[in-house]
Structure 1
Amino acid sequence: MTDQPEVVIVRWPGQGPAPARPAELLAAYHLRTQAEKGDPVADVDALPDRYRKEILDPGAAFADDTVLIALSGDTPVGCLVVTAPAGGRSEIKRLWTEPAFRGRGIAAGLIGAALARAAESGVGTVRLSVWKWRTSAIALYERLGFTVAPSWEARDQLLCMERTV
């Protein structure tokens, strides 16, 4: 038995036991990604506009999407965006777990909730793209049934994956 508080997954906005907001989690995700790309920035203000907009107003950036937040007590410890269905597909984006909470199944729980949400929406396929250097994330996606798919991304170093729901 662990003394760690239970982690729950809630939809944002409007569901769940706490007013979990994704801005801090999105900021951590984008700052880390920017550094991994070899172009580290000091803070959110230095991020590219499209990423900064997500952090400054996630409600507007993801208005048609579902944002899932993992909470440990009242503390947001992970997030994931599952896009609104389009053409029978949804996409998983922005998967992030706070480093201190990794290895506890939070990412798998978020993906499971995203797959359930996609199924509720009548989606047949869920896809995602992941940076090729994120080998542990790729291994997780493969364990959860995702397979490499033909690329729909023009950016170099992105691996595209998908699975049926």
Structure 2
Amino acid sequence: MTSHEEIIVGRWDPESVAQSHALSVLLGDYHRQTEAEKGAAVDSIDALPARYRREVLDPAAAFARDVVLLAHQGDQAAGCVVITDAGDRRLEIKRLWTAPEFRGRRVASTLLAAVHGHAAVVGADTLRLSVWEWRADAIGLYRKQGFTDAQSWETRDGLICMTRPV
């Protein structure tokens, strides 16, 4: 793989074994990293909290009502994002993740552009997300993409809520 290959984003096909495996790997990495950042490092998928373990082991069930996008560079999965209908013409961005070896290649920006395009197609007028306060790089990216801080809808401490119009 060369670093100049285009990032391609497509909707995850839960019937595809290869895509489902790639998504599970990305989600597993995302959740293990997040738990480590929270100070609760886990060494395996089995040690994740049940709700996160379910996403990794059975993404088709966990995201049955959501839209999941996968980014690829060449034949390798580079990142993912989950889009949830938050009601009232709002979509929520969850699980935005770029595999570490693909960082710096505009994977997250490309995924966010795809989310914005999807939102426009389905008639959403607002995108929202929550991000851990210690993820400065992600917060910077979101602000660069037009997200602004919003009143929190989260009950968990340490999350910053952000929105942007579509």
TM-score range, shorter chain: over 0.9
- In the alignment of these two chains, the number of paired residues is 163
Query: Per-residue deviation at 1:85?
Result: 5.2
Q: Report the TM-score when normalising by structure 2.
A: 0.93
Maintained 8 Å contact 2:14/2:60: no
SS at match of 1:53: helix
Corresponding residue of 1:20: 19
Q: Give the superposed CA RMSD.
A: 1.8
Instruction: Point out 4+ residue stretches in structure 1 off by more than 3 angstroms.
Output: none
Maintained 8 Å contact 2:7/2:110: no
Quick one: distance in 2 between partners of 1:45 and 1:14?
22
Structure 1 unmatched runs, 5+: none
Spell out the pairing of 1:13-162 with structure 2 (5 A cutoff): 13=13, 19-21=18-20, 22-84=23-85, 86-162=87-163
Using a 3 Å threshold, how does the CA distance of structure 1 residues 3 and 146 change in structure 2: closer, same or farther?
closer
Structure 2 unmatched runs, 5+: none
Corresponding residue of 1:11: 11
Q: By percentage of residues, which structure has more helix?
A: 2
Identity of aligned residues (%): 52
Using a 3 Å threshold, how does the CA distance of structure 1 residues 23 and 3 change in structure 2: closer, same or farther?
closer
Quick one: distance in 1 between partners of 2:15 and 2:7?
15
Maintained 8 Å contact 1:85/1:123: no
Quick one: distance in 2 between partners of 1:45 and 1:15?
24
Maintained 8 Å contact 1:68/1:110: yes
